[in-house]
Chains A and B, each alone.
Chain A
Amino acid sequence: MSTPYAQQPPPSPVPTPPGHAPHPPYTAPPGGGYSSPIPVTRAHLGHALASEWTKIRSVRSTVWTLGIMFMLVVGIGLLTAVGLDSEGDGYIDMPLLAGGLFGLMLGQICVITLGVLVITSEYGTGMIRTTLTACPRRGRVLAAKALVFFLLAFVTTTLACTLTAMIQSSMLGGRTVSPEDPVGEAVRDSIRNGELIATSDEWLDATVGAGLYVALLGLLSLAVGAMLRHSAGAITTMMGAVLLPPILSAFMIGESLEGVRDALLDYSPLNGLATLYGVPMSDEVNASGWPLLGVLAVITAVAVGAAAALINTRDV
C-alpha cells in the first residue's frame, strides 16, 4: 500500500501515529487519520462503462450466447437461402432478404438470455453487493450495464443480420421475374426491370432495424432481470412475452374476440421482427416495422426506468 504513485508526495516510511496527518498540507479525509498516496479521481459513468465492459467480456456466458446467436442467424439464413435457391424461379412470395428472419427468431432468444444474465448473475452470486459497495450510485451501475450490453448486442446482432442478408442477396438476388410469374403482394415493389432486388429500405430494415429490435428486446430483458432479480424467472417471463402472443391468438376464436386476436398478433414481438423483414404475421402486408420498433423502444424505456427506481430503493 505504500507504492508511490506519480504526482503524489512519497508516503512516510514510518507508520503514521493514529489521528495524525501524514503530510503537512493535508485536509482531513472523511475517515480521518489516513490518506492514500493513490490519486483520487472523481468517478463517473465512463468508469462504470469500463468496469461493465470488463465484466461482460470476462464471463463465458457472453461468448456462448452471442456465439450461438451468430451461428443460428447465419447458419439458418444460409440453409434458407440454399433451400430457396433449389426451388428455382417461379412463384415469388417473399422479399429477397426475408430468409434471415427464421434464424433471428431463434437467435433473439440467446440475446434475451444474455440480457437477463448480465444483471441476474450478479444477484445470483451476490456480486451485486460487491458492485454496489464499489459504486453506491446504483443508477450509474444500471445505466452502464444497460449501455454496454445494448451496444454489444446491437453490434453483434447487426453484424450477423448483415452477413445473412448478404448471403441471401448473393444467392437469391437477381432472380428474373417474368411478367407472367405470380408474384406475392409483399414483393411487388421490389421488382426492378424484371429482377427481384432488395430496396435500400429493405436492406436497412433487415440489418440495422433487426439488430436494433433484438438489442432492444435484450435490453428489456435486462430491465426485467433487474426487477425480478432471478435468472430463471426473468428468462421465463421474457420467453412468454415473446412466444405466447401468437399462440394465444390461435385460441381467440369467434367474432367477439377478433379485436383481441388482432392486437395480440399485431403487437407480438415476433410480428415486429417479421414486419421488419417484410413478412408480417398480421394482414397489413405493406406495413413498416419501425412503428412497432418504436413501441418496443417505449416499453423498454419504461421498464428500464422502473428497474432504476426499484434498484435505488430496494435493499440488496
Chain B
Amino acid sequence: MIEAYGLTKHYGAKTAVYNLSFQVRPGAVTGFLGPNGSGKSTTMRMILGLDTPSSGQVTIGGHTFRQLPNAPRQVGALLDAKAVHGGRNARNHLLSLAQLSGIPARRVDEVLGVVGLQDVGRKRSKGFSLGMGQRLGIAAALLGDPQVLLFDEPVNGLDPEGILWVRNLMKGLAAEGRTVFVSSHLMSEMAQTADHLIVIGRGQLMADTSVTEFITRNSVGFARVRTPEGDPAQREKLSAALTEAGGQVRTEDDGALRVSGVPLPRISDLAHGADVRLWELSPHQASLEEAYMRMTQGAEDYRSTVDQRSGLQEPVMAPPGYGAPGYGAPGHAPPGHGAWGYAPPGPYAAPPQAGWGPPPPAGPPAAPPVAPPAAAPVPPPADPHTEDAR
C-alpha cells in the first residue's frame, strides 16, 4: 500500500508536483498516467526517497521509504532503464544489488531467467538495447521479491512480444497480492494492463478511478451527421429537430454535426421528417486515448507546432495510389494549392478510420479538412475528433 498525502515538490521556481494525494492498493495494477513532464517520475522518486518532498509525505506500508529496514525486500523499482553502469556486466550489476540487501546470489540467476537475459548475463550492459535495459531494470526490481513494485515507463523500447510479457508479468504480480504501480503516458497501454488509474497533469491529480469506470464514463458513442454543403438552413433545421428529440448537438469545425443521445435510425427518421438530405451519418466511439487527452489537454507542457516546411516544399510526385490528403496526386490538385483537405476521391475510397485510431500527436496538421466535392457517405480520413483534443 502506497499512500501519498499532499505531496508537493518544487524545483526552484518550478512546481513539479502540487498537493498530490492518492493511495495505491495491493492486489491490483495501478496505472499512473500523465503527459511528459507532468510529474510522474518526480512522484516516483519521492516515493522511493530519492527526492525529498517540499511538503506532504508519501509512505509505503506506513513507513517512508528511507525508514524501511530492508527496503529492496519490500519495494522493488524500475526507474530508468539506463540507470546502470554500462561497463559492468548484467550479472554483476544484479549481484551487487542483491548483496546490498543480503539476497542469496542464486536469486540473481533466477531473475535473469525470469526476464529472459540468462544468455547475456556475462555481457556488459553498455551494449544492451533499450528493451534489454528495461528487462535488466525489471530484473533488479524483482530481485528482492518485494510486496510493492514500481515501474516507470516499463514498456519503453520493448517489442510487441516484450510489451505483452510485461503486461502479463504485472498482472501476475498483482494477482499474487502485490501492489503494482506502473507509470505510462499511453492510455491504450494502461487500459489493457491496469485495474485502477491515477491521472495527473501539471503535477496535479486529475482522476483517481478504476479503469472500468473510466471507460464507461468516457467512451460515449456519438453520431456524425453531415448535411449538404452550402445549405446552412438545412443543417439548422436538422439541428433543431435533433435537439427537440432530446439529443445533444454540436457543430464541428468542418460543418458536420456531432450528435449524442439519439440512436442512428432515429436521426435518419428525424431528418426524413424534416425533409433534410444527409451526406453522412456514421457511428463513432470516443476512444480512451481521446478522453485522456481531453482530460490532460490543458496540462501539457510540451506541445508541438506545425512543421510548415514552407519554402522547402517541392511538387510532390506521389506514386499512383498514394494519396494521403495534403499530398495531392499530380494532375488532380495543383501542388502547393489547396493541398490540405482537397484530395481526389481515390484516397477517400480507402476504409474510413472510425474515430478510434490513435490521434495524431498533439494537434493535427493545419487547417480543418474541407468536405470533398464528390461526396461519399464516409467520413474524411483525417480523424474528425482531434480538433477537440487540441
Q: A residues touching B (Cβ–Cβ < 8 Å)?
A: 1, 3, 5, 15-20, 22, 29-38, 40-43, 47-48, 50-52, 54-55, 58-61, 121-122, 125-127, 129-137, 313, 315-316
Q: Is B383 an interface residue (CB 8 A)?
A: no
Evaluate contact between B97 and A47: CB separation under 8 angstroms.
no
Cβ–Cβ < 8 Å partners of A52 in chain B: 96
Bound CA span A214–B50, Å: 33
Evaluate contact between B26 and A18: CB separation under 8 angstroms.
yes
B119 to chain A, nearest CB (A): 19
Bound CA span A191–B80, Å: 64
Evaluate contact between A31 and B148: CB separation under 8 angstroms.
yes
Contact A122 to B85, CB < 8 A, known contacts A18-B26, A30-B60 = yes
**Cβ contacts B33-61/A at 8 Å (1 or 0 each):** 00000000000010011111000000011
Contact A125 to B92, CB < 8 A, known contacts A5-B104, A38-B107 = no
> Which residue from B49, B63, B82, B100 sits with its C-beta under 8 Å from A48?
B100
Cβ–Cβ < 8 Å partners of A29 in chain B: 61, 74, 147
Q: Is B254 an interface residue (CB 8 A)?
A: no
Bound CA span A209–B212, Å: 71
Excluding A38-B144, A54-B92, A133-B75, 15 further A-B contacts by CB distance (< 8 Å) are A16-B177, A31-B147, A33-B178, A34-B177, A43-B100, A51-B100, A121-B87, A122-B85, A125-B83, A129-B80, A130-B140, A133-B72, A134-B72, A135-B100, A136-B49
User: Which 8 A-B residue pairings sit nearest by Cβ, starting from the closest?
Assistant: A18-B27, A30-B61, A31-B147, A33-B177, A33-B26, A126-B83, A36-B145, A41-B102
Q: Is B326 an interface residue (CB 8 A)?
A: no
A39 to chain B, nearest CB (A): 9
Cβ–Cβ < 8 Å partners of A121 in chain B: 85, 87
Cβ–Cβ < 8 Å partners of B82 in chain A: 125-126
Contact A130 to B73, CB < 8 A, known contacts A31-B146, A38-B103, A136-B65 = no
Bound CA span A114–B45, Å: 29
> Which residue from B48, B66, B146, B174 sits with its C-beta under 8 Å from A36?
B146
Evaluate contact between B28 and A31: CB separation under 8 angstroms.
no
Q: Please, which residue of chain B has its CB at the minimum distance from the CB of A18?
A: B27
Evaluate contact between B71 and A58: CB separation under 8 angstroms.
no
Cβ–Cβ < 8 Å partners of B232 in chain A: none
> Which residue from A30, A122, A132 sits with its C-beta under 8 Å from B63?
A30
Q: Is B234 an interface residue (CB 8 A)?
A: no
Is the contact region of chain A dominated by helix, strand, or loop, or is it mixed? loop
Contact A40 to B178, CB < 8 A, known contacts A19-B26, A126-B83, A315-B50 = no
B170 to chain A, nearest CB (A): 13
> Which residue from B71, B84, B93, B145 sits with its C-beta under 8 Å from A136?
B71
Bound CA span A121–B93, Å: 14
Cβ–Cβ < 8 Å partners of B62 in chain A: 30
Q: Is B184 an interface residue (CB 8 A)?
A: no
Bound CA span A48–B9, Å: 30
Bound CA span A134–B142, Å: 11
Cβ–Cβ < 8 Å partners of B176 in chain A: 1, 15-16, 33-34
> A17, A29, A133 — which one has the most chain B CB atoms within 10 A of its CB?
A133
Cβ–Cβ < 8 Å partners of A50 in chain B: 99
Q: Is B88 an interface residue (CB 8 A)?
A: yes
Q: Is B15 an interface residue (CB 8 A)?
A: no
Cβ–Cβ < 8 Å partners of A37 in chain B: 145
Offer 27 A-B interface pairs, CB within 8 angstroms, sorted by A. A1-B110, A1-B176, A18-B175, A22-B177, A30-B68, A32-B147, A33-B176, A34-B178, A36-B146, A38-B103, A38-B144, A40-B73, A43-B102, A47-B100, A58-B88, A59-B85, A127-B85, A129-B48, A130-B83, A130-B97, A132-B49, A133-B50, A134-B100, A135-B101, A136-B65, A313-B52, A316-B50
Evaluate contact between A32 and B179: CB separation under 8 angstroms.
yes
Cβ–Cβ < 8 Å partners of B45 in chain A: 129, 315-316
Q: Please, which residue of chain B has its CB at the minimum distance from the CB of A38?
A: B145
Bound CA span A292–B212, Å: 71
Cβ–Cβ < 8 Å partners of A43 in chain B: 69-70, 100-102
Bound CA span A19–B174, Å: 10
Cβ–Cβ < 8 Å partners of B97 in chain A: 51, 130-131, 134
Evaluate contact between A125 and B147: CB separation under 8 angstroms.
no
